[in-house]
Structure 1
């Protein structure tokens, strides 16, 4: 296996990790409107991800940086062609981070309500747009012989990509609901489980349609295995959630995300961005990659840094592993 193939796999792993972790993170943000009945319950939900949400976003920064260094042509074409949706995602993530930090800085009702609304919308929008973006990457876009995107913003809003957006939005919301049930106690835990069942059923229908469409268009034997694993894991997650086994439900919903994202990358390889104008103009792991020397240096750095980051993040989740409920939320007056 060549180094550019290795780095394609590593970038796929980074995106898998990002969607697994930030998936429930986005889901919790959406649930602040769908699940929480009052401000105290919103604080409970936000506190479940309070210690980890910023660490989850490190996976996105690393995936973007790795793409820039390992596949500069892919990075350049992707960010120029998808400029507007990626800008919207970036602004949403900035506002979302500010909202988490500023929400409790002042006691006024309007102040807190506005920041809580910001958390909801800046969780929902990226959850949808990431699916649209990856749907277009897998489907292919208008790339010319100069490796430049020559389509328009409206070309990105095709049925396949929009369905992909709905899948990521509902799947992340389901993942977040299962996580909320895993991390809370009392009435909110029971309602999170009930909501997870409803959202999970919608997710199953949308995801099955999207994955079958993907398999029919670009799939092979390996992607078919990933499809079967994703569907089976989602069914298992629904069953575990219904049985009140939140830990297993969260694990299976995570496997669903891992298998679904892996399927997208399996159908993509060896391309990194297919061209719908001419297959010869597609960006591949070969023509879009950096020099072998650059990839070699990056590989050594990754071997040193990655275990340290993963151990630290794992330790963070272990420290903040306990459930919380409304009884753990202090009176604002104090």
Structure 2
């Protein structure tokens, strides 16, 4: 296996980790006003991801950095052609982080309600747009002979990519609902489990349609077929486990669904990293988009040393914050001065 293939696989792993971990973050945020009947419920929900969400975003930063270093032409074409979509995602991620930090700064209903809305919108938007982006990456975009994007933002909003966006949105919201049923206790746990099953009823046909469309048009093969079947089987099994009250198994299986689906997309994409819809010869591949062998060699040694350290640290974080959270764990808010009186 060449180093270009190694780094294609490593980038696929980084995106998989990001979608699995940040996926339930997005799901929790999207459900904040649905499952949270009052402020205490919503504080319980936010606290389930409070120690985790910013660490989960490290996977995105590393995936972007690895793409920039290993496949600079892929990175350059993505960030020029997908500029508006990626800018919207970036703004949403910033707004979401600010909302988490500022929501409890002022003890008024209006203040918290407005920041809650920011959390919901800034969770739904990336969950949708990441699917649209990867739908276009796998399906291809108009690239000319110089590997320049010659389309427009509207070209990215094609039916296949929009179906991909709906698929990731539903899978992430489902993943978040199962996570909440695993991490909370009491009435909110019961409601999260019930809602997960209802969301799953919509996620199954949508995800199946997207996987089938992808397999027929972009990746028909034995390996991709096996991955698609694994994703479908894990999704259905996860719903059954959640419905039976086996939240641990349910969360593991919805995570397995996202892993298999992401592996399916990258397998269907290979050896391209960004196909051209104008002429296949104009597409970017793992070969013509890659850095020099020397650069890839240095990166491989750095990744071999640092990756286990990062994985151990993040695993330890999840272990420390593994307990369930209930309303009894939420202290009463500390009264604060009105906004106009604060310095």
TM over 0.5, shorter chain: yes
Aligned pairs, number: 334
Q: Distance in 1 between matches of 2:138 and 2:34?
A: 31
Residue 273 of structure 2 aligns to a residue in which SS? strand
Any idea what the Cα deviations from partners look like across 1:90-120, whole Å, max 9, x if unmatched?
Answer: 0000111111111111112221111111000
1:139 alignment counterpart: 139
User: What pairs with 1:164-243 in structure 2 (closer than 5 Å)?
Assistant: 164-219=164-219, 220-243=221-244
What's the offset of the Cα at 1:201? 1.1
Map 1:43-82 onto structure 2 (within 5 A): 43-82=43-82
Distance 2:177 2:25 in 1: 10
TM-score normalised by structure 2 residue count: 0.97
Quick check: 2:107–2:334 contact (8 Å CA) kept in 1?
A: no
Match of 2:262 in 1: 261
Shift of 1:174: 0.3
Inter-partner Cα distance in structure 1 for 2:63 and 2:306: 14
Residue aligning to 2:298: 297
Q: Deviations over 1:139-165 (max 9, x none)?
A: 000000001100000000000000000
Structure 2 distance, partners of 1:208, 1:128, is 17
Supply the RMSD in Å over aligned alpha carbons. Answer: 0.7
Tell me the distance in 2 between the aligned counterparts of 1:190 and 1:301: 45
Do residues 7 (structure 1) and 3 (structure 2) align? Answer: no
Distance 1:248 1:109 in 2: 37
State the match for 1:106 in structure 2.
106
Could you tell me how far apart the structure 2 residues matched to 1:210 and 1:48 are?
31
Secondary structure of residue in 2 paired with 1:212: helix
Any conservation in 1 of the 2:235–2:253 contact (CA below 8 Å)?
A: yes
* 2:164–2:210 CA contact under 8 A, matched in 1: yes
What's the offset of the Cα at 1:333? Answer: 3.7
* 5+ residue gaps, structure 2: 336-343
Task: Name whichever of 82-91 and 213-222 sits farther off.
Answer: 213-222
Secondary structure in structure 1 of the residue aligned to 2:31: helix
Q: Which residue does 1:319 correspond to in 2?
A: 320
Q: Deviations over 1:217-258 (max 9, x none)?
A: 122111111000000000100110111000000000000000
- What SS is found at the alignment partner of 1:118? helix
- Name 1:158's counterpart in structure 2: 158
Rounded Cα–Cα distance in structure 1 between residues aligned with 2:134 and 2:12: 12
- TM-score by length of structure 1 reads 0.99
Residue 306 of structure 1 aligns with which residue? 307
